[in-house]
Chains A and B, each alone.
Chain A
Amino acid sequence: MRITTTVDGTSYTDDVEPRMLLVQYLREKLGKVGTVVGCDTSNCGACTVHMDGQSVKSCSVLAVQADGREITTIEGLSADGQLHPVQQAFHDSHALQCGFCTPGMIMQAVDLLKENPDPDEEEIRAGLEGNLCRCTGYQNIVRAVRAAADKMQPSAAPEAETSREPVGASMPSEVAQS
């Protein structure tokens, strides 16, 4: 089947097998390997991307369902050399160790903050329930999402995905010791 989809701002037209998953399309056809596969049962959320601005697990979406849609992956979040505030916060809060869950976790966190720009800890934890991390115990991820929320306010939710900061300029190399 022929699909046309916009991924990270570029339009692609491809013939795909009907059974091809969106994540396979991204990785195998487009080389967008920043989005990864962590399980086969849509439990881990490592493959989370945005479809028309909503987070989806790209292992649970067929490529053909993305026809005519706009997809944003982790690789598109930091376009033009600008880190998204959530990416920045993950770095600043040491919210990643091995980093495998990180692309999905960041994409989910961006979606979470769009839905709820001022979440408390419990709401953050509930909002990330579908994304598994084995390294961090989630504590610094929760901290990062809260820090990003602070940073992104009072910018309105829909601007979340376009509110960016220059890479490096705001990359402190150290945090105050706890």
Chain B
Amino acid sequence: MTAVAEPEVGRARLRKEDARLITGRTRWTDNLSLPGMLHLAFLRSPVAHARISKIDTSAAKQKPGVIAVVTGADVAEEQGSLPCAWPITEDIKIPNAPSLAVDEVNFAGEAVAAVVARSAAEAVDALEAIDVEYDELPVVLDMNEALAEGADLVHPELGTNKCATWVFDSAEAGSGGAIDDAIAQADVVLERTFRQQRLIPSFMEPRSVLVDPTGEQITVWSATQIPHILKWMISAVTGVPETKVRVIAPDVGGGFGGKLQVTPEEIITFLMARRLGRPVKWTETRSESMQSAHHGRDQIQKITLAAASDGTLKGLKVELLADMGAYLRLVTPGVPILGAFMFNAIYKMDAYRFECTNVFTNKTPTDAYRGAGRPEATFAIERMMDELAAELGRDPIDLRRQNWIKHEEFPFTTVAGLTYDSGNYEAATAKALELFGYDALRQEQRERRERGDTVQLGIGVSTYTEMCGLAPSRVLGALRYAAGGWEHASIRMLPTGKVEVITGTSPHGQGHETAWSQIVADRLGVPFEDVEVLHGDTAASHKGMDSYGSRSLAVGGTALVMAADRVIEKAKKLAAHMLECSEDDIEFSGGKLTVRGTDKATDIQSVALHAHVAHDLPEGMEASLDSEATFDPENFSYPHGTHLCAVEVDTETGQVKIRSYVCVDDVGTVVNPLIVEGQVHGGVAQGIAQALFEDAVHDESGTLTTGTFADYLLPSAADLPSFVTDRTETPATTNPLGAKGVGEAGTIAATPAVVNAIVDAVRHLGVDDIEMPCTPMRVWRAVHSGTRAEGGPGGEAGGGLGSIDASGGAQ
């Protein structure tokens, strides 16, 4: 086999991964069983804040099948403190974070004891026999109250509920003017407060971990996005040398940031397996997952936008409160900071100030969830642009066009100090408007308003950008992140001409096996089918920074290109020797190595065999074409696009129906359009879900009242429309693939498009905001009171599927 006829990059290849997944033959962590394997279950605190005055495990130890029962006190010496890798300021307050609570619990769902038994059922049965006495403490739930003078404290030893305050100011940074001047000189100053409700990532595969201590290396299988980071952190937390730990992420059933974590459950399962000398497995229930796996979002955003009367933006001030929950997990405090550079979005302005105060509460810790910081930023600015348009009586697209960076202005350094390498907002918007039928929908909107239709039409706009491809290591360092942002790849040229690719990225649904095969097939001129992609096992893939932040292609794909180019360099040298010519005369194309101007040629497979048998190599050449590369990006990448949403709002019931949804995304050069389109669909669905359905609600005692899929409303097929997706392609200039990343774009863009549409539908009724999720109840209230306040915080959860009874009210 030799060259492929047409380029692989850009082809809508069907996925290699599918065969095992559609037949039920795959390996999820919970599918694995080992000889002598034991099962672990956790007892979790039912209260949000308490001192543990007593734990009696003696009865539990007598239950059938029980091998061991441990409390926090029993593992206090070994369990260390769970890592926070992003101490965003020098004076950040970081509480001790034991995997098993020792003497105090700080959120409902925190693990207080663990049972190891012969079967999972016996482990769960024994939990009931553990007797815990809690001395309840005041519960801190509201961020504003938490910061007030004399507030009850989540962690009294820290002396405050304020974790850290992080500031970016364009005047101080030298990237723009002073915000106070901009506001003082503006004709129009708009101020709004938005709530980013708390969300639960809700990956479909519950978390699971299996630890086998019976080998020289302790092997950890985990449903994780980050096997490499987990290996490092297990070593850091437990003191076990990193050489004695092997982590494997087998097929992982979704993550969305929710499996970007080093969890208490992983650490305790590891410690118990080591202590007992037998394999131990833990798999969570869904309600455990919702209570104790990290949540996302949860910010209160006070936004001030200053503009001239002609619509020109002058300045933007962002004041955030971000709920950390009870502890700082792996990147908890840094999530809002990922949004800090994105509130100014695609717009030009003179001054920008961002200030975020991170706050402790007695709730489940927050951390990364799809978009992490950037959806919050995009929501705020895109909502504000619609508000400004309304204030000035302008068309929202027209106002955006007036202020956005023109395509000829790239590369463009923003008021937040980032340099956007490429983009074409005009092209994406023009395409979206055409697909959407914008003018006709505006016409219908006018007609419905004029005739007082009970069903009103609204049009929402979101012209987003985001920063992804995490990330340049030096920038991460400057932001006080504890790790780098490079990625690693290696290529093994096998004697049979087949190719093994080892990547440091860790896919959990993204289709890297397919896309990486396409890249390598193209680069090396080998058949797509001949490439096998290995990932997720630290014994095979020894070096990597894993998958999150839409980084895998832009960073990991680039490392792969570099490794392939090194294979070709070696192959050229050997081919020159084989064909008895100068290396400079070898041309490489489509897998063929040809002596320039002759028909003398060989192919990469023959050269690989020649290298492998090593009978006749040029002087000084190693017996291998294998190559590796590590790529550290010089910049983030900046996907962008225009999302347009039309909704019908029933003013009599508050019901919202998405009539049409059009998105045109520019994610740079596309390797596999089928996979990209799928990512957009799923991303948009999650963005819509934040706008309409999802809300993690706590009652006044700190109990999560949306702790199952019956209460926390993930949209079903019946709740979502079909989306019209299209693309423009402006290649990134910061990597050889031209790729920008697509994993988070849809989620970042969609939420404000939907909320803008709902507000647009009922703005003439006196409504200028509705808090998310825009449930029928909230929409109805807003319509019938005509003020935003009445549409504000409510305790009811979700909407859509008939909704459920109002519950809680802590917010």
Q: Is B433 an interface residue (CB 8 A)?
A: no
Residues of B close to A22: CB separation below 8 A: none
* A20-37 interface code vs B (CB 8 A; 1 in, 0 out): 000000011001111111
- The reply to whether A44 and B13 form a contact with Cβ atoms under 8 Å apart is no
B28 to chain A, nearest CB (A): 6
Residues of A close to B285: CB separation below 8 A: 40
A96 to B202, alpha carbons, bound, how many Å? 16
Chain A's interface size range is 35 or more
B750 to chain A, nearest CB (A): 10
- The reply to whether A94 and B675 form a contact with Cβ atoms under 8 Å apart is yes
Give the residue name and chain of the A residue nearest to B32 (CB). Answer: A33
A78 to B18, alpha carbons, bound, how many Å? 14
A127 to chain B, nearest CB (A): 8
Give the residue name and chain of the B residue nearest to A84 (CB). Answer: B22
- The reply to whether B23 and A129 form a contact with Cβ atoms under 8 Å apart is no
* One of A62-70, A131-139, A149-157 at the interface: A131-139
A105 to chain B, nearest CB (A): 9
Which positions 281-298 of chain B face chain A at CB distance < 8 Å? 285-287
A162 to chain B, nearest CB (A): 17
Q: Is A10 an interface residue (CB 8 A)?
A: no
Q: Is the interface of A mostly helix, strand, loop or mixed?
A: loop
B533 to chain A, nearest CB (A): 15
Given A94-B675, A100-B205, A124-B717: A139 touches B24 (CB 8 Å cut-off): no
Give the residue name and chain of the B residue nearest to A33 (CB). Answer: B31
Which positions 247-291 of chain B face chain A at CB distance < 8 Å? 251-254, 256, 285-287
Residues of B close to A51: CB separation below 8 A: none
B675 to chain A, nearest CB (A): 7
Given A43-B710, A74-B24, A98-B254: A90 touches B18 (CB 8 Å cut-off): yes
Q: Is B410 an interface residue (CB 8 A)?
A: no
Q: Is B509 an interface residue (CB 8 A)?
A: yes
Q: Is B407 an interface residue (CB 8 A)?
A: no
B158 to chain A, nearest CB (A): 35
Given A40-B285, A142-B722: A35 touches B24 (CB 8 Å cut-off): yes
- The reply to whether A91 and B22 form a contact with Cβ atoms under 8 Å apart is yes
Further 7 A-B residue pairs, CB within 8 A, beyond A43-B708, A125-B717, A139-B681: A17-B121, A31-B33, A38-B286, A106-B22, A135-B204, A136-B681, A175-B674
Residues of B close to A35: CB separation below 8 A: 24
- The reply to whether A41 and B708 form a contact with Cβ atoms under 8 Å apart is yes
- The reply to whether B682 and A134 form a contact with Cβ atoms under 8 Å apart is yes
10 contacts between A and B (CB under 8 A): A34-B24, A43-B708, A43-B709, A77-B23, A94-B14, A97-B678, A126-B717, A133-B717, A173-B13, A177-B673
Q: Is B5 an interface residue (CB 8 A)?
A: no
Given A37-B206, A138-B717: A178 touches B12 (CB 8 Å cut-off): yes
B662 to chain A, nearest CB (A): 13
Q: Is B337 an interface residue (CB 8 A)?
A: no
Partner of A94, one of B254, B529, B678: B678
- The reply to whether A75 and B14 form a contact with Cβ atoms under 8 Å apart is no
B254 to chain A, nearest CB (A): 4
Q: Is B494 an interface residue (CB 8 A)?
A: no
Q: Is A4 an interface residue (CB 8 A)?
A: no
A128 to B30, alpha carbons, bound, how many Å? 25
- The reply to whether A73 and B286 form a contact with Cβ atoms under 8 Å apart is no
Given A38-B286, A40-B708: A102 touches B13 (CB 8 Å cut-off): no
A171 to B286, alpha carbons, bound, how many Å? 35
Give the 7 A-B residue pairs with the shortest CB-CB distance, closest first: A34-B24, A100-B253, A98-B509, A99-B21, A137-B685, A43-B709, A74-B24
- The reply to whether A126 and B718 form a contact with Cβ atoms under 8 Å apart is yes
Partner of B716, one of A73, A91, A132, A136: A132
Give the residue name and chain of the B residue nearest to A37 (CB). Answer: B206
- The reply to whether A135 and B254 form a contact with Cβ atoms under 8 Å apart is yes
- The reply to whether B508 and A137 form a contact with Cβ atoms under 8 Å apart is no
B203 to chain A, nearest CB (A): 6
- The reply to whether A136 and B678 form a contact with Cβ atoms under 8 Å apart is yes
* B300-337 interface code vs A (CB 8 A; 1 in, 0 out): 00000000000000000000000000000000000000
* B59-85 interface code vs A (CB 8 A; 1 in, 0 out): 000000000000000000000000000
Q: Is A46 an interface residue (CB 8 A)?
A: yes
Which positions 96-121 of chain A face chain B at CB distance < 8 Å? 96-103, 106, 121
- The reply to whether B710 and A34 form a contact with Cβ atoms under 8 Å apart is no
B227 to chain A, nearest CB (A): 16
A43 to B715, alpha carbons, bound, how many Å? 11
Partner of B204, one of A77, A100, A139: A100
Residues of A close to B286: CB separation below 8 A: 38-41, 44
Q: Is B720 an interface residue (CB 8 A)?
A: yes
- The reply to whether B678 and A140 form a contact with Cβ atoms under 8 Å apart is yes
- The reply to whether A137 and B22 form a contact with Cβ atoms under 8 Å apart is no
Q: Is A176 an interface residue (CB 8 A)?
A: yes
* B678-721 interface code vs A (CB 8 A; 1 in, 0 out): 11011111100000000000000000000011100010111010
B131 to chain A, nearest CB (A): 24
- The reply to whether A94 and B718 form a contact with Cβ atoms under 8 Å apart is no
Most buried by A among B254, B679, B720: B254
